[in-house]
Each structure stands twice: as structure tokens, then as C-alpha cells.
Structure 1
Amino acid sequence: MNKLKPKSVKKIHAKGGNFVLMQNIEAFQNGMKAYGVPHDEIFQTVDLFEARNVHQVVLSLGALARLVSNKPDYTGPAYGPKMSSENKREFTEEQLRAGDAHVSLQYGSNKGASQAGLNMGKQRSVHD
């Protein structure tokens, strides 16, 4: 984290028991929050420490990578998809009116298979 945002993780414990090592993970998570990763995309400490949910850890790293690749000063390799950017479009009144005249099949179709003629609950007549 300190490579991405200097001094975001103030102290890294190289030695210690489980509690101290879990503090390292928590410091990394706080660094991710400070960098801008949404809270709901950050893994829980036990997900990594006890390997309970490694998939969530990978998703969190992907969320961090998404933010990193969006920073203009980052020149390293990209990991995962890029964040989407705004693609604003301007339409004239004439273009908007032309769209109103268009009938699309997205509104439904009377072609193909349908349930027309089905009577729910009515017995089927089968004759020999």
C-alpha cells in the first residue's frame, strides 16, 4: 500500500504473534479504505489470516487494482478490467423524435411460441 499511497500503512510488524500479524492485515485494509476502495469490497481480516474466504481477498485486490489503473500517475501493469468512464451523449430534438417513430421488437412480439390457447386447470382430452 505504501508504494501506491506513501505513509498509508504507518507501521509494518515483521515479527510477532498472531495478533500482531492480524494488525498488519488490518493496516492494509485501512490503507485500502484511504485509497478509495469501497467498504463493501474490502475483505475481512479472518478471510485472509485463516484462509476462510480467499475468493473475497482476490476480489478486494481486484477492486484496488481497478482504482490504481484509473490514477494518471500510475505507470505499472494493469490487472483486471478498467473502471468505466462517463460517455455522455447529446441528442438533438430531431434525433429524439426519430427514435419515437421506431417500433422495436423489444416491446414484445406476437411471433413464435406463446401460451395462447392454454387453459390452466382444464384436463387434456386424449382419445384412443
Structure 2
Amino acid sequence: MSLERAVRAKIAGKRNPEMDKEAQEWIEAILGQKFGAGQEYEDVLKDGQVLCNLINKLQPNSVPKINSSGGQFKMMENINNFQKALKDYGVADLDVFQTVDLWEKKDIAQVTNTIFALGRACYKHAEFPGPFLGPKPADECKRDFSEEQLKAGQTIIGLQAGQNKGATQAGQNIGAGRKILLGK
């Protein structure tokens, strides 16, 4: 087996068909249309048109021009425009797949993870009615302590620091005393 094949097999092993299906169903629900019968999930997404339409549905005019023809570079431009719009929508840069992950089908699992990240970002947009994809991200839990409370905490040794209660060497020589033998 060639090295490239081995790498592709390893990456394919990361894919979760259930997550792909869930992401596809979410995209179909947002766009209001099903993927073509018999078409593979990654093949439908490959040219970036569906992804651009998706982000435009969530945030109108995020991608003002979607290329429907013009060859490989125009289709890859769709993917790049989608990625830029994702970041503007609130998806973290580290959650965004690389263009080759989709275009060359190098890492479709990462593409699906990006769609889930987009689904989570939708929770942060109050105007979005749903449906949502994935769990709701946790909100910040900011706390304000008074100076008195902060000073009181400085006198307490937290459990993370450990404790030394009863830490002696007593009992180390359990039951056996030290025997010194003198030669005759």
C-alpha cells in the first residue's frame, strides 16, 4: 500500500457517517431542499455553492457572488468565500477546514466538524430561529469578588496544594525492629 493510500485510509477512519448525515440533514433543513438522490455528501459540497447558499441563508449577503461555472479556481473561490464568511459569522479560525480538505476530499471529517461549528455559532445569533446543530455552547459565567472576599481566600490552602496531616515516618518499619547482629 502506498503512503498516500495509507494516509487517506487513516483520515477516512476519522469520519463519522452519522455526523455527516446529521450535518447534511441540517443543511437541507436550512436551505429547504434535499441533496440529489444518490449523490454523495462530499460531492454535493465540493464546489462550494451549497455552502455559500447556506451561509447566505444564515447571514444574508455574506457571499455576494457565488460562482456556478468557470472551472476549478472559481469553485475553490466559492469555498474560500464561504470560509471567510464563516469567520465573520463567529466560527473560530481553528474550526474552519482547509480548502483542499473538501476540494480534494482529503479530510471530509474536518469539513463536517466545520459545519457543526457553524451550527453552534447559530446559537449566538438571537435572530436565528433554528433548527440548530450540535450542543449549545456554554455562556461565560463572570464573577465579581470584593477585595474582602479575595483577601479571605488568600489565607486558605486549597486542596489542590495537598495536605500534610499525619505525614510522619511513624509506622514505616511495620512490626519489624531493626536488628543489629554482632559477629562473635
Question: Normalization by structure 1: what TM-score?
Answer: 0.68
1:36 maps onto 2:90 in alignment: yes
CA RMSD of aligned residues (A): 2.7
2:140 maps to 86
1:7 to 2:73 alignment:
no
> Partner of 2:37 in structure 1?
none
User: Is it true that 1:52 corresponds to 2:109 in the alignment?
Assistant: no
SS in 2 for 1:3: helix
Distance 2:67 2:106 in 1: 22
Deviations 1:2-47 (A, max 9, x none): 1111211011011221111111111111111111211111101110
Other-structure match for 1:126 = none
AA matched with 2:98: Q
Q: Distance in 1 between matches of 2:143 and 2:94?
A: 31
The answer for the alignment partner of 2:116 in structure 1 is 62
Q: Distance in 1 between matches of 2:91 and 2:161?
A: 39
* Partner residue, 1:123: none
The TM-score, its normalising length taken from structure 2, stands at 0.50
Percent sequence identity over matched residues?
47
CA distance in 2, matches of 1:43, 1:23: 14
- The structure in which a higher percent of residues are helix is 2
